[in-house]
């Protein structure tokens, strides 16, 4: 099992969720985060004082999947999130040791879906 | 609880006291109203100044009402438009807007520029109030009318273009229409009735909003995604402030304090209540749940709907006008808009355009001289002619607004573009147009 | 639009009339705007209309005051109750509420339904103000009283049930009590004094809130968990608007503009200040920190406490009343409530019930004819009888409120359930009752 | 500032005039309250009470205006200061503040304590309004002046120290200055003009704020990090409420309703508009973007700038004063402050200090008797002397404020410390000073 | 060492924290997230326009534990979070390579508690 | 590759970001979280009712790095975050299986930086 973490642009969220649905990956956890990458941060000005920020709003999506869903999931994420501009984000894949469904106490592969 | 009770005993006066009394009347009546030449009434002035302050508060109220319905990344850009309009049209109004609107009539079309600029002559009375009070009161109407339009183009219009558009639009559409209706222009002469701005404010902004929404095009996300209001409590607060200010808007339009103002106040309130209820009940029937945004939208529809009629009708008619306004606007925003597919972001046409039109028409139906002898009777009180006059006025307001808005925006699009770039729209207008964000996240 | 125009024809006067005129000037012109034969005073009207708008703003203010103290998932449901009540009771009031409250007295118990509905007769004066102004002003009181109750059942009451309850409660409890105290009913005849609604507004809502909170039962999380206010700045804003509006509530209850209104204004302000300070100092002593919610709660307690007394007492008494109100309410919300274990979500009983009762009693202690010759002297000014009268009035208000609320809620529970389901309570009322959420999260 | 002064010469009347007078009584006294014997004018009272309520609302407005610009962890602490000041100075004012400010003059320096405390004598008129109305109106000024200072020491000052400081500061600086300028003190005798508080309110708070900011030292994060406003919509709302209330502040300072109030109203509005526009244009030129915080700051600068002049100048001058105020304040907050390195958190000196000083000076330039015959002519209208008088007044206000603030704070620092600990500053003042947080996070 | 990530219903948070305390697991990091799983999303309506959302408010709890605390921790989480209804959530267990206490520079097993 | 998760005090964020920059680690994802550790929670009071909370505001920083950046990154985090008082936080290091740059589809070591 793998634990996939994707950081994407906020305005691509709708698209990404739709692509995931199309790939029959319905389970996910979404968080609002701030990111700092290659993309130039924004400049904000308050009472004439300029502040060069470097954190931008991003969306983090976490998805736990069985091995055979890893590639479809990555493809869906990429399809939905890619604009080709700096700031599109990253996908991180971690090993998932165990997964438990709280409601049923099912474990592992049964639990993940 | 009347302080009259505090004056006790019988006052016996000889003739000298009588003389004294009479002279005191002359000496003191001045600050108290009754001044020589039948001029400034402190009571009317107090009421008008308060009303002016109330109407002024409506524009910040509108900014919050609108802002709450947008996405976080665009809330400041729309607020900015409202606040900027206050400053911009505030100055425009005293420089030339008031002159064009209320200056001596030129052929029924526009006020002459004799009164260009603002001078201390505003200390002189205009009817029972100082000229300044009247100028300010009317100025607040000019302001909010422009600010209303900003709702239709929210989340995508370039600020600089909106700025230029506002100035031109206010000068041509608002000032002309205001002159026609309230400044002694041809509609006034025709007997067209618009108590507090059904045509002047709501039709003009609503019709122009529709044109603007169509010309500028849809937001990238529309109509695939319903944009959820980022903060409905802000919209609720805005509704509260708008409603509060609307008492000044409508009841203040009596200019004097007294029965007429009280009637307009009552009609304003009851129309809003009826419209709020009706909207909620439609929501309840149609989608199974009464909604907060629904009651707010309904109340605003009712307030806009009763605006042209507030001082000419009975309270029962006001409730009917409000109820119909709610039905119309509900239909407008939830059926008409999706069907036609234009993206009037905050339903300026759907709410103000529709209920302004309806309300102005309704004057021709429900107006009665029993409510206001300076008004007229409508169709239901035996005078079909008034209905025709109202239709003429509505048509005039629509035509003027649509034509000018279309022309001005077409030109501005060529000259300086109406829309921000796609990337700016993605990032949001707050950051890209104003280098600010409404809220911090990490802290 | 000046009502002066309504005076028509030439006024011919012989010398006697002149004498009369001059003496009338002295007798009446001063405090009250000289109504002869019941004409409208523009000054009083201006003041009353402004006050009406201010009281209207209190209900949105209350919605925010309440909403800020709840959890995010329930904020709209409570705001909705307030806004819906504005619309619902606004219409109820003009249809039958005003008639029941202020119609010609029937046996001291209720107003006759002669004045059912609303007509243009409201253009006629009622004392020195147009009938419409008076009707609207009183209507705003009917509204906020019901809205206050919603705080006790917040986070768990079904919206549909609250809707039916409000309508019945307002008709029976509010309209009756209002008639008894202000409409010439038996309490008025007895000499019961309630300047701006200690019994009519605060006892009635506070007592009913207690009954409702007990009948509907505790929230699932209570009392294990103290629900933290999700947005105290919203509560702060609500407090500001309530305080602001309360000037209209209390000082507007003078109906006329002048010394009495100014006295009520002053007392209102000082009681709130004293109560705010006292609450903060109790906080400081008891828990080591002065709190913002404390100063807000204190100010509201002081405002509610002084409400029945505002026009009958001296400012020094107002400060004492406020200070005692703060002590009582502090005790009520932080000792009494936890000890007794009922879940009065937003302390409607703890604040309004307690300080309304105290303030109404305090009229019997602190009232003085030196402040208002139309009032009475209280115990401390040599008239123990007034205290007894006040106690009778308090008892009447309590009994009426408790009995009717208990009966109505018991029946409604059987008919349509008071509470949402457990699951709906978990998810929150905004989504389950209104299909909306106050705030978006991801964006 | 009573327009009565404008009626000059002796009125001689024969019997016909008497007849006329008497009929006028009937015709006009009714709506206008025709007071005889310098008694209470209901119209003026209505206007003053409304203005008082408006000014009261400014302090909660200020709390939100300030709160929005801070970090989440400190928003309540600054709001608390404003609300606490309302209660504290509200009581201080009636106990001794009013006496010191407006009591019978002692050597031009201070009011005698004859009028210590508050009694029912406030029912008596003071000019055309009840004493109570005047006391309350003036009290609201005392309150907001102290509340303004809190912005300079936000995010680090101990609440308990601020509490003691406020009480002393208000008693010494505010009450004295108020007496000097408005209570018949030496500056009043000199002919110093300050219509609504340029020196009394804005210089005193702005100058003291500068001293306080320097003495208390910078926040830990300053100047490395620009603190981003945690919620600009809150600041926007605060701006709206301040602007709204400012109409009461300035136009209410006419005390009477009529032309003077209307003039002050107009000037107030136009100065704010001009200043808002100018600030936005500087932003646009300097950083390439117009900002929302900019337009809000500009409007406030314009409002503060026109305050001392509102009733003495023509609207054109008001626009100039506003424009210059915006330029000065922009420079103050974005160049002067960073260069000098003091940490005036919310720019109380930068906005109120600078534009208060400028506006008070501007009276000496732009005042004209054509606007207000009870005023004076300024330099541009041929009277250089007035400018000198204004400079004396400005100097007096600065010296008094700086010296007393310095002295009091130095002593308080020794006695009870000005600042919270470093750890408390890290965690935030809301939790450490008040055991509350403004917002919940998890829910 | 394991890194436990639990997604639970917001209204079970109090209960879960209490159960963790009872199991003497005091250290945790909590985040507000939006989840999409088997549970039917909510419908929202704005001006008559119906939006079928699919993201629901959830709470994420992260706990780093030594091996022998894994099972007690899972049990506590389940006990606190389980209502038996769809939406109760999941527990994910990842391998934790290293853990450092910033204050003391302690590492691994000493740092984790 | 490693996936570093640091929980720090909110008021150290600026400092930590600066230290990371100085160590030439520019990529990161930041989230607002609530933490409960050894640090005593705060007491809040509402209308005289005292609530002893135990969750405090914290900041979570996530950084995916190649092996040779792990130690510099940890050092930078510690340098920026350490105050020596309880509550300074923890650093957790997980194994990162894969990393993909959405924009370019680059994988692993190329993608991470
Ligand atoms: N190594 C990393 N560790 C943690 N977060 C990262 C890392 N690289 C990228 N991110 C996250 O991804 C977001 C997008 O990365 P960025 O470099 O701007 O885009 P791109 O990958 O298209 O060049 C960043 O804002 C950050 O939140
Ligand atoms: N495979 C997964 N990957 C990521 N998050 C998941 C996954 N499965 C469940 N979740 C999270 O757990 C929450 C509850 O899951 P859900 O399927 O609704 O409940 P249940 O497990 O009781 O059927 C979801 O909203 C989502 O946030
Ligand atoms: N074992 C853990 N699992 C998850 N989060 C932890 C763990 N230990 C600490 N944390 C997070 O780190 C924060 C700081 O920890 P704390 O124990 O207060 O500080 P210190 O490590 O200095 O003693 C906690 O509030 C929590 O968010």
Shortest CA distance to D352 belongs to which of D139, D143, D208? D208
Rounded CA separation C249/C265 (Å): 9
Would you state the pLDDT for residue F63? 97
Condensed to tens digits (0 to 9), the pLDDT of residues D85-144 reads 999 999 999 999 999 999 999 999 999 988 789 999 999 999 999 999 999 999 999 999
Q: Which ligand is nearest to the CA of F60?
A: 3
Judged against a pLDDT cut of 50, whether residue F32 lies above it is answered with yes
Q: Are E51 and B228 in contact (CB under 8 A)?
A: yes
Contact of B230 with chain C, judged by CB distance below 8 Å, is answered with: yes
Rounded CA separation A17/A81 (Å): 10
E5, E26, E27: which to mutate for ligand 3, most atoms within 8 A of CB? E27
Condensed to tens digits (0 to 9), the pLDDT of residues F47-79 reads 988 888 778 999 999 999 999 999 999 999 999
Nearest CA to ligand 2 atom 8: A27
Q: In terms of DSSP H, where are the helices of C253-383?
A: 259-287, 292-306, 315-331, 337-340, 354-366
Q: Which ligand is nearest to the CA of E55?
A: 2
DSSP annotation of C228 = P
Would you state the pLDDT for residue D386? 98
Residues above pLDDT 70, as percent of chain D: 91
Rounded CA separation C128/C44 (Å): 7
Shortest CA distance to B276 belongs to which of C81, C5, D147, E6? C81
Task: Answer whether A64 contacts ligand 2 (Cβ < 6 A).
Answer: yes
Pick the CATH number of E2-112 from 3.30.9.10, 3.30.70.120, 3.30.420.40, 3.40.1010.20: 3.30.70.120
E7, E84, E86: which to mutate for ligand 2, most atoms within 8 A of CB? E7
Q: Are A30 and E34 in contact (CB under 8 A)?
A: yes
Nearest CA to ligand 1 atom 8: F27
D34 token code pair: 């025709």
Q: Which ligand is nearest to the CA of F3?
A: 1
- Residue ranges around ligand 3 (CB below 6 Å): E 27-29, 62-64, 101, 103, 112; F 7, 35-39, 56, 58, 86-90
Cα three-residue angle B89-B92-B97, rounded to 5 degrees: 105
Burial class (CB in 10 A: 0-12, 13-18, 19+), F85: exposed
Least CA distance to D329: which residue of chain A?
A47
Condensed to tens digits (0 to 9), the pLDDT of residues E83-110 reads 999 999 999 999 999 999 999 999 888 8
Rounded CA separation B86/B93 (Å): 10
Least CA distance to A33: which residue of chain C?
C442
Rounded CA separation B50/D43 (Å): 12
Shortest CA distance to C247 belongs to which of D245, E11, D222? D245
Q: Are C269 and D90 in contact (CB under 8 A)?
A: yes
Shortest CA distance to C365 belongs to which of C385, C382, C379, C386? C379
The residue with tokens 């549909």 is: C160
Would you state the pLDDT for residue B38? 52
The count of CB pairs under 8 A between chains A and C is 8
Judged against a pLDDT cut of 70, whether residue D396 lies above it is answered with yes
- Nearest chain D Cα distance for residue E57, angstroms: 8
Rounded CA separation F55/F53 (Å): 6
Contact (CB<8Å) F99/A81: no
Condensed to tens digits (0 to 9), the pLDDT of residues D310-322 reads 999 999 999 999 9
Rounded CA separation B150/B155 (Å): 10
Instruction: Count CB atoms within 10 A of the CB of residue C2.
Output: 20
- Ligand 3 centroid–CA F90 distance in Å is 6
Long-range (24+ apart) CB contacts under 8 A made by C188-193 are C189/C108, C190/C389, C190/C392, C190/C393, C191/C376, C191/C386, C191/C389, C192/C389, C192/C390, C192/C392, C192/C393, C193/C308, C193/C312, C193/C363, C193/C367, C193/C375, C193/C376, C193/C386, C193/C389, C193/C390
ipTM above 0.85, yes or no: yes
Burial class (CB in 10 A: 0-12, 13-18, 19+), A109: exposed
Confidence of residue D74 (pLDDT cuts 50, 70, 90): very high
Distances (CA, A) of C59 to B53, B138, C434: 20, 28, 20
Condensed to tens digits (0 to 9), the pLDDT of residues E62-79 reads 999 999 999 999 999 999
E39, E53, E90: which to mutate for ligand 2, most atoms within 8 A of CB? E90
Condensed to tens digits (0 to 9), the pLDDT of residues A86-104 reads 999 999 999 999 999 999 9
Of C45, C46, C80, which has the smallest distance from its Cβ to B292's Cβ?
C80
Confidence of residue C4 (pLDDT cuts 50, 70, 90): very low
CA dihedral of residues A18, A20, A25, A28 (deg, nearest 10): -90
Would you state the pLDDT for residue D38? 62
Condensed to tens digits (0 to 9), the pLDDT of residues D355-378 reads 999 999 999 999 999 999 999 999
3-state per-residue secondary structure call for chain A: CEEEEEEECHHHHHHHHHHHHHCCCCCEEEEEEEEECCCCCCEEEECCEEEECCCEEEEEEEEEECHHHHHHHHHHHHHHHCCCCCCCCEEEEEECCEEEECCCCCEHHHHHC
User: pLDDT per position in chain B (443 positions), as tens?
Assistant: 333 333 333 333 344 444 444 444 333 333 333 333 358 999 999 999 999 999 999 999 999 999 999 999 999 999 999 999 999 999 999 999 999 999 999 999 999 988 789 999 999 999 999 999 999 999 999 999 999 999 999 999 999 999 999 999 999 999 999 999 999 999 999 999 999 999 999 999 999 999 999 999 999 999 888 889 999 999 999 999 999 999 999 999 999 999 999 999 999 999 999 999 999 999 999 999 999 999 999 999 999 999 999 999 999 999 999 999 999 999 999 999 999 999 999 999 999 999 999 999 999 999 999 999 999 999 999 999 999 999 999 999 999 999 999 999 999 999 999 999 999 999 999 999 999 999 999 88
Judged against a pLDDT cut of 90, whether residue C411 lies above it is answered with yes
Rounded CA separation B280/B290 (Å): 5
Task: Answer whether A41 contacts ligand 1 (Cβ < 6 A).
Answer: no
Partners of residue F6 on adjacent β-strands: F61, F91
Instruction: Count CB atoms within 10 A of the CB of residue F54.
Output: 16
Q: Residue F3 — φ and ψ, nearest 5°?
A: -115, 110
Q: Are B213 and B344 in contact (CB under 8 A)?
A: yes
Q: Are D196 and D253 in contact (CB under 8 A)?
A: yes
Contact (CB<8Å) B426/A9: yes
Rounded CA separation A51/B87 (Å): 27
Shortest CA distance to B295 belongs to which of C139, C67, C73, C77? C77
B62 token code pair: 């509108």
Of D69, D227, D333, which has the smallest distance from its Cβ to A48's Cβ?
D333
Residues above pLDDT 70, as percent of chain C: 92
Q: Which ligand is nearest to the CA of E34?
A: 2
Rounded CA separation B415/C275 (Å): 61
Confidence of residue D19 (pLDDT cuts 50, 70, 90): very low
Would you state the pLDDT for residue C225? 84
Task: Answer whether A86 contacts ligand 1 (Cβ < 6 A).
Answer: yes
Confidence of residue D10 (pLDDT cuts 50, 70, 90): very low
Atom of ligand 1 nearest to the CA of F104: 22
A10, A82, A90: which to mutate for ligand 1, most atoms within 8 A of CB? A90
The arithmetic mean of pLDDT across residues C55-66, rounded, is 98
Atom of ligand 1 nearest to the CA of F30: 27
Contact of D441 with chain E, judged by CB distance below 8 Å, is answered with: yes
**At F1, which helix (H) or strand (E)?**
none
- Nearest chain D Cα distance for residue C176, angstroms: 31
Q: Are F99 and F111 in contact (CB under 8 A)?
A: yes
Task: Answer whether A2 contacts ligand 2 (Cβ < 6 A).
Answer: no
**At D105, which helix (H) or strand (E)?**
strand D105-106
Half-sphere exposure of B127 (CA within 13 A, CB side): 16
- Ligand 2 centroid–CA E36 distance in Å is 6
A interface with E, Cβ–Cβ < 8 A, is 3, 17, 26-31, 64, 94-103, 105, 111-112
| Length of chain E, in residues | 113
Least CA distance to F80: which residue of chain E?
E102
Would you state the pLDDT for residue D13? 38
Nearest CA to ligand 2 atom 20: E87
- Nearest chain E Cα distance for residue F109, angstroms: 19
Interface of F with D in 1-30 (CB under 8 A): 9, 11, 14
Q: Which of the pair, F50 or C250, is modelled with greater confidence?
A: C250
Half-sphere exposure of B243 (CA within 13 A, CB side): 36
Rounded CA separation C296/C302 (Å): 10
Interface of D with C in 106-125 (CB under 8 A): 117-120, 122-125
Nearest CA to ligand 3 atom 12: F89
Contact of C434 with chain B, judged by CB distance below 8 Å, is answered with: yes
């Amino acid at each position: 099992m793998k634990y996939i973490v994707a950081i994407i642009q906020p305005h691509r969220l709708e698209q990404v969720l739709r692509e995931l649905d199309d790939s029959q990956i319905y389970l996910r956890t979404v968080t609002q985060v701030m990111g700092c990458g290659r993309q130039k941060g924004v400049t904000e000005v308050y009472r004439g004082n300029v502040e060069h920020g470097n954190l931008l709003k991003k969306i983090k999506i976490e998805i736990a999947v069985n091995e055979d869903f890893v590639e479809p999931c990555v493809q869906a994420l990429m399809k939905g999130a890619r604009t080709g501009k700096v700031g599109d984000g990253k996908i991180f894949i971690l090993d998932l040791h165990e997964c438990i469904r709280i409601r049923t106490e099912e474990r592992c592969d049964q639990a993940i879906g | 609880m009347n302080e009259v009770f505090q004056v006790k005993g019988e006052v016996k006066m000889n003739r000298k006291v009588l003389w004294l009394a009479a002279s005191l009347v002359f000496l003191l009546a001045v600050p108290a109203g009754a001044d020589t030449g039948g001029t400034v009434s402190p009571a009317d002035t107090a009421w008008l100044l308060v009303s002016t302050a109330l109407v002024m508060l409506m524009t910040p109220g509108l900014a919050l009402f609108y802002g709450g319905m947008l996405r976080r990344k665009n809330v400041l850009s729309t607020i900015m438009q409202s606040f900027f309009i206050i400053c911009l049209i505030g100055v425009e109004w005293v420089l030339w807007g008031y002159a064009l609107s209320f200056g001596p009539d030129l052929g029924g079309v526009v006020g002459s520029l004799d009164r260009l600029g603002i001078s201390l002559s505003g200390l002189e009375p205009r009817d029972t109030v100082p000229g300044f009070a009247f100028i300010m009161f009317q100025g607040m109407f000019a302001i909010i009318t422009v600010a209303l339009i900003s709702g239709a183009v929210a989340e995508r219009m370039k600020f600089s273009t909106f700025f230029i558009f506002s100035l031109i639009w206010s000068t041509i559409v608002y000032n002309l229409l205001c002159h026609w209706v309230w400044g002694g222009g041809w509609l006034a002469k025709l007997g067209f009735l618009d108590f507090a701005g059904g045509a002047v404010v709501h039709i003009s902004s609503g019709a122009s909003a529709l044109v603007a929404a169509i010309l500028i095009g849809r937001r990238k996300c529309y109509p695939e995604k319903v944009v959820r209001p980022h903060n409905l409590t802000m919209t609720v607060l805005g509704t509260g402030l708008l409603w509060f200010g609307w008492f000044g808007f409508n009841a203040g339009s009596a200019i004097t304090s007294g029965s007429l103002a009280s009637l307009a106040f009552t009609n304003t309130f009851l129309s809003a209540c009826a419209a709020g209820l009706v909207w909620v009940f439609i929501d309840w029937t149609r989608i199974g749940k009464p909604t907060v945004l629904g009651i707010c939208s309904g109340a605003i529809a009712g307030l806009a709907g009763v605006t042209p009629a507030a001082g000419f009708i009975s309270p029962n008619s006001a409730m009917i006008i409000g109820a119909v306004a709610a039905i119309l606007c509900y239909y407008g925003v939830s059926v008409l808009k999706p069907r036609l597919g234009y993206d009037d972001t905050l339903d300026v046409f759907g709410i103000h355009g529709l209920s302004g039109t309806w309300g102005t028409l309704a004057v021709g139906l429900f107006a009665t001289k029993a409510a206001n002898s300076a008004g007229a009777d409508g169709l239901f009180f035996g005078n079909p002619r008034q209905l025709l006059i109202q239709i003429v006025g509505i048509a005039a307001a629509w035509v003027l607004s649509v034509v000018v808005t279309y022309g001005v925006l077409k030109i501005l699009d060529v000259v300086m573009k109406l829309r921000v770039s796609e990337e700016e729209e993605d990032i949001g207008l707050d950051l890209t147009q104003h280098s600010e964000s409404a809220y911090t996240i990490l802290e």
